[in-house]
Amino acid sequence: MYNKNLKFLDYSNLEVSLFILIVSTLGSVMQISGASWDITSHLLNQPDSFFTPSHAMLYTGIGLIAISAGVSSYLLRRKNKIKQYNSISLSFKLLIIGSFLSLIAGPLDYLWHRNFGLDGLLSPTHITLATGMLINSVAVFIGLYGVMNNISHWKNLAKIFLIPSLCSLWFTSIWYVFIFVLPFSESDFFNFNLDTYSATLIASIFLPLINSIMFLCSSKVFNNTFGYASIIVSLLVLINTLSTIIPTGDLLSPLIPWYFVSILGASLLADILLNSRFIRINTKQFKNNKLIASSIIGSIFYFFNYPMIIWTYGTFLHTDLGSLNAVLPTFLNTIVTVTLITVPVGAAMGLIGYLIFSKIENSIDVLIKGRNSTIMKSD
C-alpha cells in the first residue's frame, strides 16, 4: 500500500517542480528579451560594457534558470516519483544541459573578446549561448505542458505560465535563425556573415516554418480554444516592440501602430479559422482550416519579424543599410517588391509547417501524456 508520508513528500516535490518551471519561465522570457535588447543597443552604437541594463536582464534570466537547474539536478538524484513523469524529468535534464551551455558561454565569450576583440553576432560563443537559451525554452515548455496534462490540481497555474513559455520559445527560435541570417557578423579577425543569397534563403524557409509550427502548437496546447494563440502572438509582438523598436526612439517606432494592427489582425483571422467553434464544423473542415491558418501565419513572416528582417532582405536587394537611420526608408521603399516575394513563399512554407507539425504532434502527446505510473495523479 502506498505510504501516506511518501505521498506527501512526492506532492511536496511536485510543488517544488512547478515552482522551478515557473521561475524558469520568467528566466526564459528575461534572457531572450535582454538578448534582443542588447543587440539593438549595439546597433545604436551605445557604449559596449558588461554593466548595461540589457546585460542585467539577460544574465538575470540565465541566473534564474541556472538556479532552477541546480534544484532540478537535486530532485532528479533523489528517489522520488518525479522520474515517473517523463515530461518533467526530461524538462529538468534539458534545463541542466541548457544552463550549462549558457553559463560556459559567458567566460568563453570573455576569452574570445580578449583574444579577438569585438565579435559579431555569429560567433562560436554566441552560438553556444543561443543554443543553451533555446534548449532552456524547450525545457520549460515541455515541463509545464506535462504538468498541465498530468497533475490536475496544478493545471490552471501551469496553463497561465504556458503562455509566456510558448512566447519565449517562439521568440528564441526566431532569434536563433537571426543569428545566421543577419549581416552583423563581421569583425576585425573573422567574417562569419553568410552570403546574401544563403541568408535570404534560410530566412525565407525557417522563419515562416517557425511561425506556422508555433501557431499550431500554441493552439494545440490549449485544446484549440479560441484566443490563446492570439494572446501568445500579442505578447511576442509586445516583447519585440519593447526590446527592438522602442529603444531606437523615433527611428523605427512610427510603424508601431501598423505593426500591431497587421500582425494581430492576421493572427486573429488565423485564430478564428483554426479555433472558433463557429467555423470548425467537422474533421475535414478542421483540417482545411488548419491549412489556411498555417498559410496565413506563414505568409506574414516578413512583417512579423519587423524590424530585424529588413537587414537581411535589404542586403539582398543591395540597398544601403549603413545605419539604423536607413532601416525605415528601406522598408518603405522595398515593401511592394518584398511583399510579392515573401507572401507566396511564406504561405507555401506555412503549409509545409502544417505537414511537419501534423507528423510530430502525436509524438509530443505521447511524450507529455505518457507516464510510467498513475499513483500521483490527483483531482
With vertex at residue 327, the alpha carbon angle to CA 326 and CA 330, rounded to the nearest 5 degrees, is: 85
Pick from 173, 167, 233, 163: nearest CA to 203 = 173
Q: Which residues pair with 371 in a beta bridge?
A: 85
Separation of alpha carbons 271 and 215, rounded Å: 9
Query: Which pLDDT tens digits describe the chain residue by residue (379 residues)?
Result: 334 443 433 456 778 889 999 999 999 999 999 999 999 988 887 655 556 788 889 989 999 999 999 999 988 887 566 666 788 889 999 999 999 999 998 888 888 877 877 777 888 999 999 999 999 999 999 999 988 887 778 889 999 999 999 999 999 999 999 999 999 988 778 888 999 999 999 999 999 999 999 999 999 999 999 999 999 999 999 999 999 999 998 999 999 999 999 999 999 999 999 998 776 567 777 888 899 999 999 999 999 999 999 999 998 988 878 788 899 999 999 999 999 999 999 999 999 999 999 988 887 777 776 543 333 443 3
Q: How many CB atoms lie within 10 A of CB 232?
A: 28
Separation of alpha carbons 362 and 373, rounded Å: 20
Q: What is the DSSP string of 218-231?
A: HHHHTTT-TTHHHH
The answer to whether residues 135 and 90 touch, using CB atoms and an 8 Å cutoff, is no
Domain ranges of the chain: 4-369
Q: How many CB atoms lie within 10 A of CB 193?
A: 19
